[in-house]
Structures are given as C-alpha cells and as structure tokens.
Amino acid sequence: MKYLIVGLGNIGEQYAETRHNIGFDILNYFAGKHQFSFKSDRLADVGEIKFKGRTLIMIKPTTYMNLSGKAVKYWADKEKIPNDRILILVDDLAFGLDALKLKKNGSDAGHNGLKSIAECLATTDYPRLRFGIGNQFNKNRQVEFVLGKWKDEEIETVNKKIIAAAEVIENFVTIGIERTMNEINNKKF
C-alpha cells in the first residue's frame, strides 16, 4: 500500500518557518523522527519510507503554493496512488491555533494551494489535515499574517501540534481516516 503525504509551503529562505509553510515544517519533523531525508526531484523535494508495511512517499512541492496541484498530480500518477490515500498538510485560517482537523474532503476555503490541487485532481475529494493558524490580523493584512513568522508565545503550541500532526500521518496510513479523525478532531492544544 502506497500513500502520498504532501506538505504545502513555499520554497525559499524568506518563507521558512512561516504560518503558510507549516506543511513543510511537519514533514521536516517527520523526516527527523523517521530518519530519512528529502532529495530534489521533479516538481518537489521527495522522501520515502516504509512504515508498518506501507510505503509513504512524502513531497514538499517546489512549485510554490499556487501551483502545488501540479506536483500532487504528477506524484500521485507516477506512484499510482488513489486520491483517498493522499494526505495534504495545510495551514488554515478558519481554525484557531488550538486546532488540528482531519477531513476526507471539502472546499479550498480560499486556500490557493488547495485550489490548485482541486483543479489538477479535478476533485475536492482528497483528505487534508488542516493546521489551525488563527486569524489575528487587521483588515487587508491576511497575506502578511499568513506569510509571517510565528510569535514567540505561539511556538510551544505549534511544536506540540507538529508532533501531533506526525502521529496523524502514522495513524492515517495504519488505522485509517475515520479512527484518526475521531482521535484528533476534538483535541485542543
């Protein structure tokens, strides 16, 4: 069984450790935990591990957020992975910093990365782990907030959620999405 785990973010030092790059941060933590590294490949930095009899292909698209779908489609097709075994790790303004929400499908909610993925896969029917980043920004300052660095007082919660997100990946591929949703969706951080 193969799974495609996709961490959304933007390449480049100026985007490192920003709210919008949480998908990259989760996969970087996961790589450290499972002792693998990413290598540059077509449209993404790619890592692969065997985990409890499953093969996990992990990608960090190098297409920038707005074209993430190109990388997702390419790797899903190349590895012959169906949509229900793709997991997108994404930042989400709709939830506070205390929330992680796993969903089977849903709209892009204005997120350009998810919009691109939906266009390229021709469906919104794919699992995603929504990492709440809150929405504490002034009018017309959304881009600055999303592309901004975490505040010092947020770091401890962010780190706890990154660890929990890694566990969500492991559970998603072993016990399935339903049980994993039951475990994580009502948890507060």
128-132 and 86-92 strand pairing: parallel
pLDDT computed for residue 153 by the predictor:
95
181: left (phi > 0), else alpha (psi -120 to 50), else beta? alpha
Residues involved in catalysis: 20
Residue 82 DSSP SS3: coil
Using one digit for the tens of pLDDT, what is the confidence trace for 2-53? 999 999 999 999 999 999 999 999 999 999 999 999 999 999 999 999 999 9
Using one digit for the tens of pLDDT, what is the confidence trace for 58-95? 999 999 999 999 999 999 999 999 999 999 999 999 99
How many other C-beta atoms are found inside a 10 Å radius of the C-beta of residue 9?
29
Domains of the chain: residue spans and CATH: 2-184 (3.40.50.1470)
How many other C-beta atoms are found inside a 10 Å radius of the C-beta of residue 67?
18
Residue 48 DSSP SS3: strand
Using one digit for the tens of pLDDT, what is the confidence trace for 115-173? 999 999 999 999 999 999 998 888 888 899 999 999 999 999 999 999 999 999 999 99
Q: With the CA atoms of 22, 28, 32 and 33 taken in that order, what torsion angle do they form, in degrees rounded to the nearest 10?
A: 40
pLDDT computed for residue 139 by the predictor:
87
* Structure-block tokens of residue 110: 């204005």
For residues 182 and 77, what is the distance between their CA atoms, to the nearest angstrom?
30
Torsions phi, psi for 116 (to 5 deg):
-65, -40
